[in-house]
């Protein structure tokens, strides 16, 4: 059986209330008890900020591909009459999307959503065959029309429409016996189709002992000054908070002085103002009440554990989840003797008449003064709480669903025709009348997201810099090389698609740059779908930062998003980068670390990233994932840039005649060119016959060194500067040199060291962790920043070289780009 759960109840404002908690817990319990049944959760894309937290909640319970997001143009809230057309389109769109998942049964965790938010729920508008079950929490507005329906016609219309949908449900899950009876009596729903699935609380709601420090932190945060009486929950009229305040005000002065009344949880500001005014009217002073505002679950559990008494005066509940939560945490609980609360609390001694302030006050006084009674309430409450379990609730629900599916008589919609049926329904109902092209575009894009063409999963490789300009730095070499390997050997389940973005338009496009056959057609925007993967391989800070929202939207859709981090140098060594570079890098890192995995190009960079992350407060719903892989270095297997200048042969000959030391890398402060040049000037001055070949473009903040190089007397005699040469030429220069000098003070990886080893070229490297990681015992190392120190080291090295006693690099292990690409994919869990 395939169960599709509509979990919008955990996306709307209900997520801050019992309905949201109930929806999540019930869905979780259905998944854990589903045995051979398949569960798919569907979410509404019009609540983008809620999707990642819900995905995280089900992370280890459900494959991420079983969490599907549907799209529709918004806004659709019923509160605004102008949304009617859009909402009706959204209702059909949602039903078509769910039908396309071919469910055996649909479970709507909360039907009464969408009045003041963008939730969309309906039953039987397009799909009239799939059984739908719905949790029925309560019918409070129907039973209290004067309070809820009559003052607001729009709400009444909305509510009555939802009731009609409710009556079309194949099954109802009532959350209590009281709620079950309400449905039977109020809407005459067939008795045999309603089941009391009851409710429960998460296992985290339990007794715990708080340390003094924890208690102090909590009471300080919420401005609680003494032992306290606790209330948690909403503030609508039925919650009866006015009477609670008046009852509290009628307690003896001594009791009030000893006990503060704390309202925990999110209460709208206007309600707080009203309650404070009520308190003032009742003669209470400011400190006697406390409003905590939003609290997280951990704080809520702590408050339940710390309170002297928990009071729940609501006169109408479907279940009364806070009561069960409080009892599970070992709080002494008293509550109203109305609707579902007596069955939840299961103890007549704990009940009071919610319409009598005196009765409420008497019960509070009794419990606060009689410790035996209080202990008895705690004991009985803990025992009663054990009767409720989500597993029990879920098993009842699953059994009912199985039964409904087995008796299903109508044929399901044919998946091939769903989109066509939807389009026909939209047109036949006149919902697209007067629709502009603009509106049709937006709708078409939503439908394309909802009904993607069958295709293999795609692995998007970000090559933005290669497409937008190609800075031809080391990063672009890596990008080209890894991309080449992935295109040659794509992972089994994926098509590899190079893509690029810009900072000027939202979205990434497929690039044809690496296709064998290109056409003049403009590059298409990517059509991502659940299960696709995006790897941010290339480096364009501003593009990634500008595309942040787009990437977040992709993640919501179920696309895994990983980034490769090459180094943290602009942050760690700000002085050797231009102004703003560190800040730009920081902003980029703070974006990329919000996504799934950050893949570093060495263990050393990973360590630096983890340390940096500790200094940041980036909000995540899941654990921060990092990993590292090593880069490849087989020049023949990349897409090398080609081309030799006319004088190449002559220059290469000159390099061969005298021992040539090679430096590879952009001319920038951290690369150590200045020190190396100083060292060689001293060597030349001392008559040592050596060449220095520098391969690298002009970077930044090195104007003086650049000028010096260009005007150097030894230029093209003993000093050679190769600016922006091709990979082909670089390889030849390697072949004509005897030693690589890696003088950089900071690197992400150190590719030149491996390339040197491939050419069996010895290495003289600065002693930094990344060079040790890459070259290990197969390189000679130097310390110090003076030219003289390095000159001495070079002299020593030359002596050893002449005697063939220098350290050789041949045995140094290195990876091919194919191995590197495989390692990257393996560590990201891509097969």
Does the protein bind other proteins through residue 452 (CB under 8 A)? yes
In the complex with other proteins, which residue's Cβ is closer, 101 or 394? 101
CB of 444 to other proteins, least distance (A): 4
CB of 310 to other proteins, least distance (A): 38
Find the binder of other proteins among 132, 326, 447, 662 (CB under 8 A). 447
Does the protein bind other proteins through residue 284 (CB under 8 A)? no
In the complex with other proteins, which residue's Cβ is closer, 447 or 600? 447
Give 92-110 as a DSSP string.
Answer: HHHHHHHHHT--SEEEES-
Stretch of residues binding other proteins (CB under 8 A), selected from 376-384, 431-439, 600-608, 710-718: 431-439
Contact present, 199 and 324 (Cβ < 8 Å): yes
Does the protein bind other proteins through residue 573 (CB under 8 A)? no
Question: 20-49: which residues touch other proteins (CB under 8 A)?
Answer: 48
The contact mask relative to other proteins for 540-559 (x = CB under 8 A, - = no) is: -xxx-xxxxxx-xx------
What distances in angstroms separate CA 438 from CA 430, 444, 505, 525, one per listed residue?
Answer: 17, 10, 17, 18
What distances in angstroms separate CA 629 from CA 207, 481, 499, 638, 821, one per listed residue?
Answer: 45, 14, 22, 18, 9
Question: 67-96: which residues touch other proteins (CB under 8 A)?
Answer: 73-75, 86
Does the protein bind other proteins through residue 437 (CB under 8 A)? yes
Question: 141-180: which residues touch other proteins (CB under 8 A)?
Answer: none
Number of residues that bind other proteins (CB under 8 A): 60
Identify the H or E element spanning 32: helix 18-32
Contact present, 743 and 766 (Cβ < 8 Å): yes
CB of 550 to other proteins, least distance (A): 6
Stretch of residues binding other proteins (CB under 8 A), selected from 49-57, 347-355, 525-533, 738-746: 525-533
Does the protein bind other proteins through residue 457 (CB under 8 A)? no
* Burial of 52 from C-beta contacts in 10 A (0-12 / 13-18 / 19+): middle
CB of 87 to other proteins, least distance (A): 12
Give 165-215 as a DSSP string.
Answer: HHHT-SEEEESSHHHHHHHHHHH---GGGEEE------TT-S--PPPHHHH
SS3 assignment, position 440: helix
In the complex with other proteins, which residue's Cβ is closer, 196 or 449? 449
Does the protein bind other proteins through residue 524 (CB under 8 A)? yes
* Burial of 66 from C-beta contacts in 10 A (0-12 / 13-18 / 19+): buried
In the complex with other proteins, which residue's Cβ is closer, 512 or 590? 590
Stretch of residues binding other proteins (CB under 8 A), selected from 51-59, 362-370, 573-581, 761-769: 573-581
CA distance 224 to 787: 66
In the complex with other proteins, which residue's Cβ is closer, 608 or 773? 608
Does the protein bind other proteins through residue 522 (CB under 8 A)? yes
Residue 459: closest CA among 403, 515, 499: 499
Query: Which residues does 205 contact at the CB level (< 8 Å), separation at least 6?
Result: 301, 304, 325, 328, 329
CB of 441 to other proteins, least distance (A): 5
In the complex with other proteins, which residue's Cβ is closer, 408 or 548? 548
Sign of CA dihedral 463, 465, 469, 471: negative
Give 784-826 as a DSSP string.
Answer: -S-HHHHHHHHHHHHHHHHTT-SPP-TT---B-HHHHHHHHHH
Query: Which residues does 609 contact at the CB level (< 8 Å), separation at least 6?
Result: 565, 568, 589, 593, 598, 600, 626
SS3 assignment, position 228: strand
Question: 371-430: which residues touch other proteins (CB under 8 A)?
Answer: 419-420, 423-424, 426-428
Give 529-544 as a DSSP string.
Answer: -TT-EEEE-S--HHHH
In the complex with other proteins, which residue's Cβ is closer, 182 or 538? 538
Beta sheet of 171-174, edge-to-edge order: 67-70, 38-44, 2-6, 105-108, 132-136, 171-174, 194-196
Contact present, 74 and 94 (Cβ < 8 Å): no
Question: 249-268: which residues touch other proteins (CB under 8 A)?
Answer: none
In the complex with other proteins, which residue's Cβ is closer, 49 or 153? 49
Instruction: Please tell me the total number of residues recorded for the chain in this structure.
Output: 831
Stretch of residues binding other proteins (CB under 8 A), selected from 279-287, 435-443, 601-609, 759-767: 435-443
CB of 652 to other proteins, least distance (A): 39
CA distance 52 to 49: 7
CB of 88 to other proteins, least distance (A): 14
What distances in angstroms separate CA 680 from CA 415, 714, 740, 802, one per listed residue?
Answer: 74, 10, 14, 18
Contact present, 351 and 345 (Cβ < 8 Å): yes
Stretch of residues binding other proteins (CB under 8 A), selected from 10-18, 539-547, 674-682, 762-770: 539-547
Question: 313-332: which residues touch other proteins (CB under 8 A)?
Answer: none
Residue 526 DSSP one-character state: P
Find the binder of other proteins among 526, 561, 667, 825 (CB under 8 A). 526
Does the protein bind other proteins through residue 308 (CB under 8 A)? no
Question: 583-602: which residues touch other proteins (CB under 8 A)?
Answer: 583-584, 586-588, 590
CB of 503 to other proteins, least distance (A): 5
Question: 482-501: which residues touch other proteins (CB under 8 A)?
Answer: none
SS3 assignment, position 260: strand
What distances in angstroms separate CA 819 from CA 273, 473, 516, 758, one per listed residue?
Answer: 65, 22, 24, 15
Find the binder of other proteins among 444, 610, 689, 715 (CB under 8 A). 444
Stretch of residues binding other proteins (CB under 8 A), selected from 320-328, 481-489, 503-511, 597-605: 503-511
What are 275-281's contacts with CB under 8 Å, separation 24+?
Answer: 275/235, 275/241, 275/242, 275/245, 278/242, 278/245, 278/246, 279/245, 279/249
Does the protein bind other proteins through residue 442 (CB under 8 A)? yes
Does the protein bind other proteins through residue 432 (CB under 8 A)? yes
CB of 511 to other proteins, least distance (A): 14
CB of 320 to other proteins, least distance (A): 39
Contact present, 131 and 408 (Cβ < 8 Å): yes
Does the protein bind other proteins through residue 439 (CB under 8 A)? yes
In the complex with other proteins, which residue's Cβ is closer, 361 or 426? 426
Question: 600-629: which residues touch other proteins (CB under 8 A)?
Answer: 616-618
CB of 97 to other proteins, least distance (A): 13
What b-and-e string marks burial along 675-712, b requiring 16 or more CB atoms within 10 Å of the CB? Answer: bbbbbbbbbbeeebebbbbbbbebbeebeebeebbeeb
In the complex with other proteins, which residue's Cβ is closer, 216 or 618? 618
CB of 573 to other proteins, least distance (A): 17
Structure tokens at 728: 């082909």
Stretch of residues binding other proteins (CB under 8 A), selected from 436-444, 463-471, 560-568, 818-826: 436-444
In the complex with other proteins, which residue's Cβ is closer, 509 or 766? 509
Find the binder of other proteins among 580, 724, 735, 784 (CB under 8 A). 580
Contact present, 479 and 566 (Cβ < 8 Å): no
Binding site for other proteins (CB under 8 A): 48, 73-75, 86, 419-420, 423-424, 426-428, 432, 437-445, 447-448, 451-453, 503, 505-507, 522, 524-527, 541-543, 545-550, 552-553, 578-581, 583-584, 586-588, 590, 616-618
């Amino acid at each position: 059986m395939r169960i599709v759960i509509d979990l919008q109840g955990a996306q709307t404002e209900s997520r801050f209330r019992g309905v949201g908690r109930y929806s999540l817990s019930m869905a979780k319990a259905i998944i854990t008890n589903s045995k051979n049944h398949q569960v798919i959760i569907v979410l509404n894309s019009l609540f983008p900020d809620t999707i990642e937290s819900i995905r995280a909640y089900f992370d280890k319970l459900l494959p991420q591909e079983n969490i599907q997001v549907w799209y529709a143009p918004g806004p659709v809230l019923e509160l605004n009459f102008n949304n009617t057309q859009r909402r009706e389109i959204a209702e059909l769109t949602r039903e078509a999307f769910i039908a396309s998942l071919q469910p055996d049964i649909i479970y709507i965790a909360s039907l009464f959503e969408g009045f003041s938010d963008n939730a969309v729920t309906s039953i039987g508008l397009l799909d009239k065959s799939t059984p739908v079950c719905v949790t029925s929490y309560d019918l409070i507005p129907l039973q209290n029309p004067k309070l809820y329906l009559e003052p607001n016609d729009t709400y009444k219309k909305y509510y009555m429409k939802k009731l009609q949908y409710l009556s079309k449900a194949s099954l109802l899950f009532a959350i209590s016996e009281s709620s079950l009876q309400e449905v039977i009596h109020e809407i005459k729903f067939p008795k045999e189709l309603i089941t009391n699935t009851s409710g429960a609380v998460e296992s985290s709601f339990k007794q715990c002992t708080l340390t003094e420090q924890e208690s102090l932190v909590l009471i300080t945060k919420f401005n609680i000054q003494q032992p306290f009486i606790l209330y948690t929950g909403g503030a609508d009229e039925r919650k009866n908070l006015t009477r609670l305040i008046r009852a509290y005000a009628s307690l003896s002065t001594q009791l009030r002085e000893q006990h503060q009344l704390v309202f925990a949880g999110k209460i709208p500001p206007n309600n707080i103002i009203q309650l404070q005014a009520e308190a003032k009217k009742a003669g209470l002073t400011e400190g006697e009440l406390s409003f905590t505002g939003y609290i997280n679950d951990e704080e809520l559990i702590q408050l339940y554990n710390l309170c002297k008494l928990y009071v729940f005066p609501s006169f109408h509940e479907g279940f009364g989840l806070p009561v069960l939560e409080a009892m599970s945490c070992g709080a002494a609980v008293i509550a109203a003797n109305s609707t579902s609360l007596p069955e939840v609390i299961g103890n007549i001694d704990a009940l009071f008449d919610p319409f009598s302030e005196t009765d409420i006050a008497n019960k509070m006084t009794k419990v606060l003064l009689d410790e035996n009674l209080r202990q008895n309430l705690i004991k009985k409450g803990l025992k009663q709480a054990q009767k409720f379990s989500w597993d029990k609730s879920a098993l009842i629900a699953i059994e009912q669903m199985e039964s409904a599916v087995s008796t299903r008589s109508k044929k399901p919609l044919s998946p091939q025709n769903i989109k066509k049926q939807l389009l026909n329904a939209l047109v036949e109902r006149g919902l697209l009348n007067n629709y502009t092209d603009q509106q049709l575009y937006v709708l078409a894009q939503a439908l394309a997201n909802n009904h993607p063409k069958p295709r293999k999963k795609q692995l998007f490789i970000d090559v933005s810099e290669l497409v937008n300009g190609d800075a031809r730095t080391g990063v672009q070499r890596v990008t080209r090389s890894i991309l080449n390997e992935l295109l040659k050997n794509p992972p089994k389940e994926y098509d590899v698609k190079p893509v690029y973005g810009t900072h000027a338009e939202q979205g990434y496009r497929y690039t044809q740059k690496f296709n064998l056959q290109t056409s003049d057609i403009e590059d298409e925007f990517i059509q991502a779908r659940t299960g696709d993967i995006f790897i941010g391989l290339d480096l364009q800070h501003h593009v990634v930062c500008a595309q942040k929202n787009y990437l977040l939207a992709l993640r919501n859709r179920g696309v895994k998003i990983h980034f490769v981090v090459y180094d943290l140098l602009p942050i760690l060594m700000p002085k050797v980068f231009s102004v703003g570079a560190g800040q730009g890098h920081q902003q980029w890192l703070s974006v990329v670390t919000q996504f799934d995995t950050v893949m570093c190009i060495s263990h050393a960079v990973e360590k630096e990233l983890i340390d940096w992350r500790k200094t940041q407060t980036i909000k995540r719903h899941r654990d921060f994932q990092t990993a590292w892989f090593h880069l490849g270095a087989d020049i023949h297997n990349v897409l090398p840039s080609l081309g030799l200048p006319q004088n190449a042969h002559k220059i290469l000959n000159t390099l061969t005649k005298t021992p040539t030391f090679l430096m590879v890398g952009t001319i920038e402060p951290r690369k150590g060119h200045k020190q190396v040049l100083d060292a060689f000037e001293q060597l030349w001055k001392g008559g040592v016959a050596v060449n220095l070949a520098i391969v690298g473009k002009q970077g930044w903040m090195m104007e003086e060194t650049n000028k010096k190089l260009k005007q150097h007397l030894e230029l093209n005699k003993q000093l050679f500067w190769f600016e922006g040469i091709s990979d082909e030429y670089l390889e030849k220069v390697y072949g004509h040199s005897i030693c690589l000098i890696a003088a950089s003070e900071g690197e992400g990886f150190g590719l030149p060291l491996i390339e040197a080893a491939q050419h069996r070229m010895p290495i003289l490297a600065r002693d930094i962790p990344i060079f040790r990681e890459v070259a290990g015992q197969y390189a000679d190392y130097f310390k110090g920043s003076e030219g003289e120190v390095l000159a001495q080291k070079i002299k020593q090295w030359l002596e050893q070289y002449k005697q063939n006693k220098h350290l050789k690099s041949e045995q140094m292990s290195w990876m091919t780009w194919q191995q590197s690409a495989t390692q990257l994919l393996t560590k990201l869990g891509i097969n």
